[in-house]
Amino acid sequence: MDWMKRLGMDSSFIDRHLNTGFSGGERKRNEIMQMAILEPELAILDETDSGLDIDALRIVAKGIQEVRRDRPSLGIVLITHYQRLLDELRPDFVHVLIDGRIVATGGMEIAATLEKSGYESFRS
């Protein structure tokens, strides 16, 4: 219940079957709550921003930040195709993958270049 409160989730969610009747944003928050409760050493969040409107994206990003505050040693690999989630979370490193290979590594400047020029600018 503590994590539900911290993630801004309605306590009635506890009585529902897993992800049954949840909106996209509620489902994503539920995934973040599972990450908080299960306490993995590494979390892989694959396209967590998929299907979220900007308000839901911000709520999910705040949930991820809340878990990281509680568990600063938690490693997170965040996979996304869009910069807006990165703008909310400010990652330590950005890696660009093309055809299964890391072709660029850096900070937010890499994400900005990708957003401006697309993947073509990283193909060699």
Whichever domain contains 51, its CATH number is: 3.40.50.300
- Residue pair 45/77 in contact (Cβ under 8 Å)? The answer is yes
Contacts of 73 (CB under 8 A, 6+ apart): 41
Q: Where are the alpha helices (DSSP H) in 39-105?
A: 54-70, 83-89
Map residue 101 onto helix, strand or coil: strand
Q: Are residues 112 and 84 in the same domain?
A: no
Q: Are residues 36 and 74 in the same domain?
A: yes
Q: Are residues 41 and 85 in the same domain?
A: yes
Look at residue 5 and tell me whether its pLDDT is greater than 90. Answer: no
Q: Are residues 27 and 64 in the same domain?
A: yes
Bridge-based pairing state of the strands 75-79 and 42-46: parallel
Residues paired with 45 in a beta bridge: 78
Look at residue 10 and tell me whether its pLDDT is greater than 70. Answer: no
Q: Are residues 65 and 116 in the same domain?
A: no
Confidence of residue 56 (pLDDT cuts 50, 70, 90): confident
Look at residue 76 and tell me whether its pLDDT is greater than 70. Answer: yes
Residue ranges making up the domain that contains 104: 93-124
Q: Are residues 15 and 47 in the same domain?
A: yes
Confidence of residue 93 (pLDDT cuts 50, 70, 90): very high
What is the rounded average pLDDT of the residues 38-66? 90
Confidence of residue 1 (pLDDT cuts 50, 70, 90): confident
Sign for the pseudo-dihedral over CA of 44, 50, 51, 57: positive
pLDDT for 65? 93
> Number of structural domains, the chain?
2
